[in-house]
Amino acid sequence: MVRITRGEESKLTSWYFRTDWKLIGLLVGLFFFSVIMMVTAGSAEASRMAHPWYYFLQKATPFYLLGIFFLFFCSMLNKKLILYMSWAMLVVGVASLFFTLFQHSAINGSTRWVNLGGITFMPADVLKPALIMLTAWFLQRLQGIYGENIFTKEVLKFKKDSWLPYILIFAICVIIMAKQPDIGTAILFAGVVFVMVFVAGMPLKLFFATVGIGISGLFVYALSMSHIQNRIAQMIHVPPRTQVWYSLNAIRHGGLFGSGDEAYVQDVLPEATNDFIYAAVVESWGAIAGLFLIAILYTILKVLVNQATTAKDDFVIYALTGTAALFFGQVVFNLMTSLHILINKGMTLPFVSYGGGSFVSFCILFGMVLALIREDIWNNR
């Protein structure tokens, strides 16, 4: 059996010994949760659609393999290559977003998907790793030019090295997402950026003023959208036989230890492998399994926060903070939807829900995070 020993330091031994295997183990745990649900909830949903029981598992397998490949591939990169990859993803993501304005694939009334060569994906999924890595790079670059305080009038002047180019690109992306409409992702992106900017030293007054303006604008926009009004009305009174109604009944029916073969609500629960996969988990395996899944998600978040607090490079701190905010935000959106605390915004549960583009996107992002953690330890040993 080949055994890697520490011996002389090299890129391979650095990757093997300094990679956060605890984080990888937690991600693999979520991956197995996903596979199990593609078999259980996926078989029920597939039978409703007159497909073989393995339909969703078969569709998800190529994305599982691709995602795992990118997880390990990106974990071997360095900061320079990560930034090159992020710039490429930014170009593809922004171009795809503009493409949705003219030609798109509409699903459930939303035009946030693009179909190229038979492959349907969300431009937002392509943008997630790029948003975090390039925002981290941008914040570090500004602080390298202007010092720790990058929230002065000087930094707001119209020039290359200022806030305006970043704000322009970010605003364009968020506006297009809102137009699709994909309000949930637009809010998620804005929240991630605000967390990263706050960590970079944004004054509290400016932070709360910006958040207040954003919430006010979102409220006005939401009132003008009929489908959002309808979903808000459904929050007050849940109509029978709707997605949320089935989700709540699935969770109730699961009890502590699950319904097993007697699980019936997931047989009629829409999006049982995607948006409402948590409800399917609880009905099949019970509230204890649901809490165990939440514990894994929480532990991943805790690892990211702990690594961010001990990192030496500001770029790594900002990147880990943004990843933690994105991961936490998407988990909260998904769970609150299943529990009828928030209107459904079509957010997947990271690494668990069926959704090829989302799974691969998170694998790329976490692969980059693993690489940055390893490099930060290598450079500051």
Mean pLDDT of each 10-residue bin along the chain, 381 residues long: 52 77 92 87 81 87 93 94 96 89 61 72 90 96 91 80 88 84 84 93 87 78 65 62 77 81 70 83 89 94 94 95 96 88 79 87 96 84 58
Q: What are phi and psi of 116, to 5 degrees?
A: -125, 115
Provide the 10 A C-beta neighbour count for residue 344. 24
Spatial neighbors of 167 by CB under 8 A, at least 6 apart, are none
Nearest residue to 267 via CA among 286, 282, 280: 280
CB 300 within 8 A of CB 326: no
Please report which residue ranges of 76-201 form alpha helices under DSSP H: 79-99, 123-146, 163-179, 183-199
Q: Can you give the pLDDT at residue 1?
A: 43
Place of tokens 């490099």: 375
Whole-number Cα distances in Å, 371 to 22, 129, 138: 14, 13, 19
Nearest residue to 109 via CA among 181, 179, 178: 181
Edge-to-edge strands of the sheet including 110-116?
A: 105-107, 110-116, 119-121
Q: Can you give the pLDDT at residue 376?
A: 86
Q: Can you give the pLDDT at residue 381?
A: 58
Nearest residue to 285 via CA among 211, 352, 348, 381: 352
The pTM of this model reads 0.90
Q: Can you give the pLDDT at residue 228?
A: 62
Rounded-to-integer distance, Cα 153 and Cα 167, Å? 15
Q: How far is CA 62 from the centre of its chain?
A: 19
E-assigned strand segments in 273-320: none
CB 131 within 8 A of CB 192: yes
Q: Can you give the pLDDT at residue 2?
A: 45
